Amino acid sequence: MSKKLTYGMVGGGKNSQIGIVHRKAINLHNNAELVCGAFSRDFKNTLITGKELKLEEKRLYRNYEEMAEEESKRPDKIDFVSIVTPNVSHYEIAKKFLESGINVMCEKPLTVTLDQANELSNIAKNNKLIFAVAYSYTGYSMVRFARDLVRSGKIGDIRFVNAQYISDWMAKVPFEGKIPRHEWRSDPKFSGLSNCVADIGVHVENLVSFITGLKIKSLCARMDKFIEKNKLDDNASILVNFDNGAEGIYWTSQIAIGHENNLNFGIYGTKGSIEWSQEQANYLKISTIDHPFLRLSRGSKEISEYIKQDYVTPGGHQEGYIEAFARIYEKFINAIIKRKKGEILTQEDLDFPTVEQGVIGMKFIEKCLESANKNCTWIEF
């Protein structure tokens, strides 16, 4: 099993935004090779992209259906597919590949309805396939260390969570008709029923869940449409009650001028707190009642060996988005390798965002919409 795995990609053609990020993340650990693709609904784009990526023309497909059917027949069929298309197509593409016996990594949000997400989860389970969702921010070393600290009881019982994912791209750019690769996000024909919450709000929900282990009990959401009144949300404020009695507030925005890509959290417990921001990803602020606050870096001796063993660069060097994304892919790929060997997967092997987290993300979107559409009433989760 020292041979690289092989994978294909649906979406991610020339001039796309996220496909190249996935490919770079996979390439970082050099344990999987791209061998095929249906990179665009425009076959000319697929051919151009495939040529640039030095792929065999016979493994460049006109659409995802052809790709799944032809690859499933090959003795050297791909080990997994990476789906990097707009939201509305995730369900049908993932379903086709799962039914063709191929493992899946899918961009978030998983689908556009909770029913679709549950169906995909069941298909993956019944076919004994590994299904991951690209919640990339849980790959950061200091996010994973924050989870360790919460589990160890360092900050005591959690009382309150303040988490944000705020950006300003919709405020700055008159994007309609200007930047086609962004336009689709606010169009329900491609995004589904939500833009902001579905695009970046799910990252907030997933990150908090990953670190704290808390489950949402109820929520109250206001979803705003500041830029395009007749399209989808571009800003949301969400109050949250958790199953342990803790409370929280999530702010997710695409119109917060002055913020480029600011994902951050503060988790406040009975003994202390933890704070982190993606824009200062190497550092974690830890405060306790009986000690002045500490600002730990990735190079600190306090970081556990379990975290350090995954470092691409030593502590002291900046860890970025690609490294975090690559960590998600590395764990996903290692799980596929272990499954191919016939070994039983442990919880440690599955320490990446699975389809179950994708299902919870869809439930989060639907409950936010339900609350917003009922004049911001509290909704049981």
Give 28-80 pLDDT, tens digit per residue: 999 999 999 999 999 999 999 999 999 999 999 999 999 999 999 999 999 99
**What distance in Å separates the CA atoms of residue 104 and residue 286, rounded to the nearest whole number?**
37
Alpha-carbon torsion 113, 117, 122, 127, what sign?
positive
Domain count, the chain: 2
What is the rounded average pLDDT for all residues in the chain? 94
Range of the domain at 168: 140-313+361-380
223 shares a domain with 94 = no
Listed residues 129, 152, 176: the one ending a domain: 129
Question: Is 252 a residue whose pLDDT tops 90?
Answer: yes
The last residue of one of the domains, among 129, 160, 194, is 129
Q: List pLDDT tens digits, range 128-146.
A: 999 999 999 999 999 999 9
What are the residue ranges of helices labelled H in the chain?
19-29, 43-52, 64-73, 90-99, 114-126, 141-152, 169-172, 180-183, 188-191, 196, 202-212, 305-308, 321-340, 355-373
pTM of the model: 0.95
279 and 159 housed in the same domain = yes
Predicted pLDDT of residue 1? 45
Q: Where do we find the tokens 């509290």?
A: 378
User: What three-state secondary structure class fits 155?
Assistant: coil
Would residue 333 count as lying in a domain? no
**Is pLDDT at 175 greater than 60 in this prediction?**
no
Nearest to 200 by CA among 108, 325, 323, 329: 108
The answer on 90 and 213 residing in a single domain is no
pLDDT tens for each residue of 177-204:
455 556 666 677 778 899 999 999 999 9
Burial class (CB in 10 A: 0-12, 13-18, 19+), 21: middle
Domain CATH code at residue 175: 3.30.360.10
Tell whether 115 and 178 lie within a shared domain. Answer: no
335 within a domain of the structure (yes/no): no
On whether both 300 and 265 belong to a single domain, the answer is yes
Task: Please report whether residue 46 resides in a domain.
Answer: yes
